[in-house]
Amino acid sequence: MKKLVEIFAASAALTLLTLVPLRAAEDTLQVVKQRGYVKCGVSQGLPGFSNPDDKGNWNGIDVDLCRAVAAAVFGTDEKVKFTPLSAKERFTALQSGEVDLLARNTTWSMHRDTALGVDFTGVNYYDGQGFMVRAELGITSTKELDGASLCTNLGTTTELNAADYFRTHNMQYEMVAFEKADEAVSAYNTGRCDAYTTDQSALYAQRLKLTDPKAHIVLPQIISKEPLGPVVRQGDDQWGDIVRWSHNAMLNAEELGVTSSNVEAMKSSSNPSVKRLLGLDGSFGANMGISNNWAYHIIRTVGNYAETFERNVGKDTPLGIARGVNALWKDGGLQYAPPIR
Amino acid sequence: MSRRDALLQLLTLALVVAGVGWLIANVADNLDRQNIASGFGFLNERAGFGISQTLIDYDEDDNYRQVLIIGLLNTLLVSVLGIIFASILGFLLGVGRLSRNWLISKIAMVYIEIFRNVPLLLQIMFWYFGVLRNLPSPRQAINVGDVMFLSNRGFALPSVTFLDGAGSYGLALLAIIATAIGLRRRARKLFLTTGRMVAFWKPLGLVSVALLLAAGGLAGVPFEANIPALRGFNFRGGMSVIPEFVALLLALSLYTAAFIAEIVRAGILSVDQGQREAAAALGLSHNRALSLVVIPQSLRVIIPPLTSQYLNLTKNSSLAVAIAYPDIVSVFAGTTLTQVGQAIEIIFITMMVYLILSLLTSWAMNRYNARIALVGQS
Amino acid sequence: MSATWQPKPARPAPTHVVGVWGWMRQNLFATPSDVLLTMIAALALYYAIDVVLHWAILDASFSGSDRTACLKDVQGACWPFIDAKFGQFIYGRYPDAERWRVDLVYLIGFVGLVPLLMPRIGWKRANVIFMLGLFPIFAFVMLTGGAFGLVPVETTDWGGLLVTLVVAITGIVASLPLGILLALGRRSQMSIVRSLCIGFIEIFRGVPLITVLFMASVMLPLFLPDGVNFDKLMRCLIGVALFSSAYMAEVIRGGLQAIPKGQYEAAAALGLGYWRVTGLVVLPQALKMVIPGIVNTFIGLFKDTTLVLIVGLFDLLGIVQFHFTDASWATPETHITGYVFAAFVFWVFCFAMSRYSIFMENRLSTDRD
């Protein structure tokens, strides 16, 4: 009798195992709507892009993009939760479903786009890699860095780009690569390295965390292209569209002069482009599975691209970054959104 | 074995196989869905990044296999040196703990209790950010005789380059060692058969001088000293010991020494009191009794737990990833993993490396243990 | 002549043998080399105590609200930094309003643990069931919330001492049953079961914990079907539990080996089957014998919890390190003060546990004899 019970128990366990589905539904929008909030992967603390304040509220350009996506899906930008991720685990977290999208100042590169099972949905910040050194060294160009020690983050494109740059210019260097960005900054701060290298926007941001920010300068040379953009899982085109067009909506809004303060008034505008943007014309939202006034909610809660830029990294913030290549195409920059029609 | 047992075993096997099969199916599915490559072909790809400490030649054009080897060499370097320093310090502390001098004994106890109860990662970070903070920058480096420089970039030491002809000195050295071993064997045999103790320093000294002169006559002086000099940002030339290595080595040695001290203490206490009394009756002083009678016998009790401490030290060297020391976890399971994305293969290789290191260390220590075990005692 | 002989009164012992001076002569100044050693040691001790005293008390700052409090010319520790961040060090980013839940869990855990550790107090079985079964469930519900009207708190907001204790205690609680099974399996007669257990134990004992944590945080999602995912804390807990169960298995195996064969034979003579023998006769004795070993494993696990900061969780060390980047507290002494504080907290816990282990070891050795 006991023998039979044991056999029965074992076979039951085996059958149960095979019943567990190997693939769950591939529909992020459904999952997000059911869950009630968007799960967004962000950095572990980069002022201007994604940084928690003392009370735990997140601010930054990437944070604003996540809030825009939440506003597009739910009508309010509150329904979003932020998960800080290190450089090593960011893609795994996205692939495994721990986060719905990654807005973590991630460089769009071919390897990442093709070999990791993820898709980039645009560029929300055009950046490049730069170097930060102590002002007292009197250096004005990266070509004077022969023999320097460089502090950087482990396993990023930064490490590779710096190596390539120094080789091409026949310069020696010592690479000290840390697992966490904070450790790299701390080591640079205490003088372990002569220069700290990462994306130029991050240099301005991390400079704020140094003991004496004024004693450090960011060298003007950019040694690589670093188009930073949001990332989603491959194979879910609908969700990818939502993220892509959330960013494009903010760009189009800036082009058309719609801001968070005048969006209500703009509802009665006669400009057909504005009407299409705010959902008063056409069913663009429904085509993506969300409400038609998705862009209206985005602009109402987050604002247009200019607003989010100026609020987080603009000239009135401690970072003080100019629009530069991130200006609209009309103003000589690279931000160009396809039309909403 | 009863039929019931056989059935249970088969069921367990079936369960395990089913479980593993399910895991593998998941993995294959996930890899396929996410378009991640598999296989070990990535080892041939160009690495493209720099490493701050390489015991063999390396540049960015080398492939990931080179990176693996360099990481392994760095791990071995810090582990072997750590084992040596920790053993020396641990023995001193263990013996000191049992000293009749109350002050020494209490100081040893305080050291052991402090360093055993603070996590190793905390100690590593303390030394790294403490060492870093207090050392001056290269421009104001501490200058030792104009050949050695101490700064927060590390220690710049003079090194020696071997030019053509240095091989003859190498041969001479090998010949000297062979002569020493031969002479020692002869002296032992002589002692065992006739009871005469013969010192062999004089003949050894004569032979050594002769061999070195011969090598010098053949090759001249094929050595060149490399003195480090401050050029631009850092010291160039000579040998450079990075502060990450120093901090890791220091923390590992101090931490493991505290555990070894307790093992040594337990080992010494395990030797019968009668041995000490007999040694005293023979007129041996306390120190000579310790070194000639007690410690050799205590080694039997010390070696097995000492082995596991050595293994722990080797495994703990993996904490290097926290302070940017380029050991195997840092360059292979860190940078390479993030660049290539094939987590399963890379972590599998890393774990295999540590398993093999553990097995080798255990095997070596077990051989030593077997040699010193009492015949007839298990 | 008197009837009984009276000896002369004893003279007091020579002064160089008794009293403080006698003790010092024997223990500090016995031989010339001893004298030298004592002098060197005393000098080193004086210097060390001087440095520590100056750093920790005499030159330290004790009050202030930002970095200006710790920028004196001769600056010691920056205690206001610890004071300002103390809440974060203990709770992490747990919302202020919900911290009472963490306090409640700490309190009930303490109240449940103390009687378990004291051998004299009875009701051990009920106590064990409470601490190993009911308390974890209670703690889980309390800390994560979402039920019984409690506000949900994501595990990414947990930090500091809370995470250290959660990881350490979960590791121990999970590794005990698993370790028992592995140890029994390793001694089993069935070759397949034995091989599997030996393989598991040797693999997890042969690799560093950091590779297990990397495996858990980066590889585990690949092993699970699409859609199933554990959050980061859960993945680390799984890695830590598997790792420490291998060490626990070896400790328990030592206990099982020490049970005299007579126990097995007597139980068999009474007609008890394998599981009855194991559960009623062997395990209670074995576990009691290896309590010092279990406590030592726990001490090791407690120290190893600091490794989770490498994979991005904020344990006590991680959160202290995180706050070093706060620009409003950036002074040269901030780092050292933070590390010393964290070291002190860890030291208190580990030292207390090691004292307890020695106490239990003494108790058990007298018990058996």
CB-hemisphere CA count at 13 Å for B278?
8
- At residue C95 the predicted structure's pLDDT band, cuts being 50, 70 and 90, is confident
Integer Cα distance of B37 and B46 in angstroms: 16
Residue C225 has its nearest CB partner, among A21, A84, A185, at A21
Find the range with the poorest average confidence among A123-132, B136-145, B275-284.
B136-145
pLDDT exceeds cutoff 70 at A5: no
Q: What integer pLDDT is reported at residue A25 of this predicted model?
A: 42
Interface contact C215, partner B, CB < 8 A: yes
DSSP conformation class of A77: T
Q: Where are the domains of chain C?
A: 74-92+158-364, 95-152
Angstroms from A41 CA to nearest CA on chain C: 12
Cβ <8 Å between A114 and B133: no
Q: What is the pLDDT of residues C244-253, one digit of tens each?
A: 999 999 999 9
- CA A246 → CA A39, A42, A261, A308, C279, distances in Å? 16, 17, 18, 13, 62
Q: Which of residues 125-184 of A touch B (CB under 8 A)?
A: 145-149, 154-156, 159-160, 162-164, 166-167, 172-179, 183
| Contact by Cβ (8 Å): B328, B71 | yes
Residue A186 has its nearest CB partner, among C221, C226, C324, at C324
pLDDT exceeds cutoff 70 at B137: yes
Using DSSP, state whether C152 is helix, strand or coil.
coil
Q: What integer pLDDT is reported at residue B88 of this predicted model?
A: 96
Q: What is the pLDDT of residues B47-72, one digit of tens each?
A: 888 888 888 888 888 889 999 999 99
DSSP conformation class of B294: I
Give the CATH fold of the C74-92+158-364 domain: MetI-like fold (1.10.3720)
pLDDT > 70 in chain A, percent: 92
- Given the DSSP bridges, would you call strands A148-153 and A195-199 parallel, antiparallel or unpaired? parallel
Find the range with the poorest average confidence among B192-201, C47-56, C89-98.
B192-201
- CA B306 → CA B83, B163, B310, C357, distances in Å? 10, 42, 6, 21
pLDDT > 90 in chain A, percent: 42
pLDDT exceeds cutoff 90 at A311: yes
A184 closest CA partner among A223, A137, A228, A149:
A149
Closest residue of B to A164, CA-based?
Answer: B48
- At residue B93 the predicted structure's pLDDT band, cuts being 50, 70 and 90, is very high
Q: What is the pLDDT of residues B282-327, one digit of tens each?
A: 998 888 888 888 988 888 888 888 988 999 999 999 999 888 899 9
Neighboring chain A residues of C331 at a CB cutoff of 8 Å: 211
Integer Cα distance of C316 and B296 in angstroms: 43
* Average pLDDT of the residues in A23-40: 80
Please give the mean pLDDT across all residues of chain C. 86
* Average pLDDT of the residues in C60-75: 80
- CA A298 → CA A60, A124, A268, A275, A278, distances in Å? 15, 15, 18, 15, 10
Residues 6+ apart with CB under 8 A from C49: none
- CA A256 → CA A226, A271, A336, B194, C266, distances in Å? 28, 9, 13, 108, 91
Q: How far is Cα of residue A212 from the mean position of the Cα atoms in its chain?
A: 28
Neighboring chain B residues of A14 at a CB cutoff of 8 Å: 14-15, 18
Neighboring chain B residues of C225 at a CB cutoff of 8 Å: 26, 29
Cβ <8 Å between C330 and A210: yes
Q: Which of residues 304-333 of B touch C (CB under 8 A)?
A: 311, 315-316, 318-319, 321-322, 329, 333
Neighboring chain C residues of B114 at a CB cutoff of 8 Å: 347
**A176 membership: H or E segment, kind and range:** strand A173-178
* Average pLDDT of the residues in A12-40: 67
Angstroms from A168 CA to nearest CA on chain C: 33
With tokens 């409003």, the residue in question is: C328
Interface contact A24, partner B, CB < 8 A: no
**A4 membership: H or E segment, kind and range:** helix A2-19
Please give the mean pLDDT across all residues of chain B. 86
C188 closest CA partner among C274, C315, C301:
C274
| Contact by Cβ (8 Å): A155, B339 | yes
Interface contact C303, partner B, CB < 8 A: yes
Neighboring chain C residues of A183 at a CB cutoff of 8 Å: 321
Closest residue of B to A86, CA-based?
Answer: B338
Closest residue of B to A193, CA-based?
Answer: B153
DSSP conformation class of B53: -
- At residue A11 the predicted structure's pLDDT band, cuts being 50, 70 and 90, is low
Using DSSP, state whether B46 is helix, strand or coil.
strand
C164 closest CA partner among C106, C219, C81:
C106
Cβ <8 Å between A147 and B339: no
Angstroms from C150 CA to nearest CA on chain B: 35
CA angle C189, C192, C197 (to 5 degrees): 85
| Contact by Cβ (8 Å): C164, C350 | no
Integer Cα distance of A251 and A328 in angstroms: 8
Answer left, alpha or beta for residue A235, where phi above 0 means left and psi between -120 and 50 means alpha. Answer: left
- At residue B374 the predicted structure's pLDDT band, cuts being 50, 70 and 90, is low
pLDDT exceeds cutoff 60 at A7: no
Residue type, B62: D
pLDDT exceeds cutoff 60 at A1: no
pLDDT exceeds cutoff 60 at A6: no
pLDDT exceeds cutoff 80 at A13: no
Interface contact C325, partner A, CB < 8 A: yes
Cβ <8 Å between B117 and C350: yes
Neighboring chain B residues of C189 at a CB cutoff of 8 Å: 1, 5
ipTM: 0.86
A326 closest CA partner among A251, A271, A257:
A251
pLDDT > 70 in chain B, percent: 97
Burial B55-64 (b: 16+ CB within 10 A, else e): eeebebebeb
Residues forming a β-bridge with B154: B151
Cβ <8 Å between A146 and B11: no
Cβ <8 Å between B132 and A190: yes
Neighboring chain C residues of A92 at a CB cutoff of 8 Å: 217-218, 221-222
Residue B114 has its nearest CB partner, among C222, C224, C347, at C347
pLDDT exceeds cutoff 50 at C288: yes
Q: What is the token pair recorded at A11?
A: 């076979």
Residue A155 has its nearest CB partner, among B29, B34, B338, at B338
Q: What is the pLDDT of residues B20-39, one digit of tens each?
A: 888 888 888 777 776 677 78
* Average pLDDT of the residues in B113-131: 90
With tokens 């002074």, the residue in question is: C331
Angle formed by the axes of helices C334-368 and C291-304, to 10°? 170
Integer Cα distance of B112 and B99 in angstroms: 15
Number of CB atoms found within 10 A of residue B319's CB: 27
Cβ <8 Å between A191 and B132: yes
Burial B81-110 (b: 16+ CB within 10 A, else e): ebbebbbebbbebbbbbebebebbbbbbee
Q: What is the token pair recorded at B219?
A: 């090759």
* Average pLDDT of the residues in B203-219: 83
Q: What integer pLDDT is reported at residue B378 of this predicted model?
A: 41
pLDDT > 90 in chain B, percent: 29
Angstroms from C275 CA to nearest CA on chain A: 13
Which chains, if any, share at least 3 CB pairs under 8 A with chain B? A, C
Q: What Rg do the C-alpha atoms of chain A give, in angstroms?
A: 23
Integer Cα distance of C51 and B364 in angstroms: 43
Residues 6+ apart with CB under 8 A from A35: none
Q: What integer pLDDT is reported at residue C334 of this predicted model?
A: 84
pLDDT exceeds cutoff 50 at A191: yes
- CA B239 → CA A163, B53, B147, B160, B250, distances in Å? 22, 11, 11, 9, 19
A88 closest CA partner among C65, B183, B232, B346:
B346
Residue A56 φ then ψ, to 5°: 90, 10
Q: What integer pLDDT is reported at residue A23 of this predicted model?
A: 38
The dihedral over CA atoms of C329, C333, C334, C338, expressed in degrees to the nearest 10, equals: -160
